[in-house]
Amino acid sequence: MTSLFDPTDAGDLHLSNRIVMAPLTRNRSPKAVPNTLNTTYYEQRASAGLLITEGTAITQQGQGYADVPGLYTPEALAGWKHVTDAVHKAGGKIVVQMWHVGRVSHTSLQPNGGQPVAPSAITAQSKTYIMNPDGTGAFAPTSEPRALETAEIAGIVEDYRKAARAAIEAGFDGVEIHAANGYLLDQFLRSGSNKRTDSYGGSIENRARFLFEVVAAITAEIGAGRTAIRLSPVTPANDVFDPEPQPLFEHVVAGLPDDLSYVHIIEGATGGPRDYLQGDIPFDYAALKAAYRDKGGKAAWMVNNGYDRQMAIEAVESGNADLVAFGKLFISNPDLVGRLRADAPLNAPDQATFYGGGAKGYTDYPAQPKVA
């Protein structure tokens, strides 16, 4: 029987176990440049089968929060190279989550103080994280976006392609396309945020077009086996909604390449109820997976949201998942793999230190004492 602790392959990536560190925004990279503290943080967690970085903006336009890293300056890429070198030296594998936040941003974060961009000019009833003049961070309402012109979309597809190449050159083992949680690609998918009347709006096929163009550009650039995608079919994060998520996301997974590295699915509301509904009926995650497998999809299937040790073990042993991602537990347990393997007690995370700050609540959680 396959175990959570067994090695596996995810496309071109050989993983030492099936435990994945989920992407976690921590707001500790001033000027969008990874630093030595970030290097320590990821290195400490390198026993995971796979590390997925925090959301990393592909361009300044894609930036939505203060002090999150980017992939678009030489300084940021040099900072990431230190991170990837340290993780590899520690025996780990790491992919970068490629992020364009779309409308979930603030004019203070955008080039020349411009408006954030979106499929349609609908403000997200959400908040972002900005820096005050005195250097302290604070949550603030998102700014009113402008609708992208049809002619602009190809340029953003090209931004994704360039960022994927930059990621590989910075030493990442692959990339995860962030198409979840109400950010730009997800905004295009959902009818609640996409009111376009061109070839990128209206029907499910049109709303998925932008995502498929991004996937095609990245896989052509770095190979499908180093490319993954994250989806969140029913999450209400960042004010996104679609009354018929089942046919929408079955269309999405059926249109993905068969040989991606992995497909990462957030089950339920991100960080909230696993049984959250959008529309009138519960979402069928088994049918979603079948829609991908039945058309020949071979990527590893990753599940996420509220998994504990027993749930993760059962998900893998039953064949419902190939990989299980853990978020908050990896914040407070850098040695989570060892603790889960030994069924050892877990450190509780300090929520007050999740966003912004320094080493406290970031790199100072204790590892499990070693037995002599």
Q: Is 162 helix (H, G, I), strand (E, B) or coil?
A: helix
| Span 122-137, average pLDDT | 90
Taking residue 205's Cβ as centre, other Cβ atoms within 10 Å add up to 11
d(CA 253, CA 131): 38
- pLDDT exceeds 90 at position 137: no
Report residue 330 as tokens: 């990896």
Return the pLDDT at 1: 84
pLDDT (tens digit, 9 = 90+) per residue, 256-274?
Answer: 999 999 999 999 999 999 9
Q: Which of 183, 262, 362, 365 is the catalytic position? A: 183
- pLDDT exceeds 80 at position 7: yes
> Are residues 333 and 115 in contact, defined by beta-carbon separation less than 8 angstroms?
no
d(CA 145, CA 152): 15
> Are residues 236 and 193 in contact, defined by beta-carbon separation less than 8 angstroms?
no
Is 200 catalytic? The answer is: no
| 249-272 as b/e: b if 16+ CB within 10 A | bbbbbebbbebbbbbbbbbbbbee
Return the pLDDT at 371: 56
Burial class (CB in 10 A: 0-12, 13-18, 19+), 128: buried
> Are residues 300 and 262 in contact, defined by beta-carbon separation less than 8 angstroms?
yes
> Are residues 119 and 186 in contact, defined by beta-carbon separation less than 8 angstroms?
no
Return the pLDDT at 331: 98
Tally of CA atoms within 13 A in the half-sphere of 96 that contains its CB: 30
pLDDT (tens digit, 9 = 90+) per residue, 281-307?
Answer: 999 999 999 999 999 999 999 999 999
Split at pLDDT 50, 70, 90, the class of 89 is: very high
Bridge-partner residues for 228, per DSSP? 176
> Are residues 179 and 213 in contact, defined by beta-carbon separation less than 8 angstroms?
no
Interhelix angle 36-44/74-89, nearest 10 degrees: 30
d(CA 69, CA 77): 10
> Are residues 2 and 317 in contact, defined by beta-carbon separation less than 8 angstroms?
yes
DSSP string, 305-347: SS--HHHHHHHHHTTS-SEEEESHHHHH-TTHHHHHHHT---P
Return the pLDDT at 134: 82
Bridge-partner residues for 175, per DSSP? 96, 227
The average confidence (pLDDT) of the chain is 97
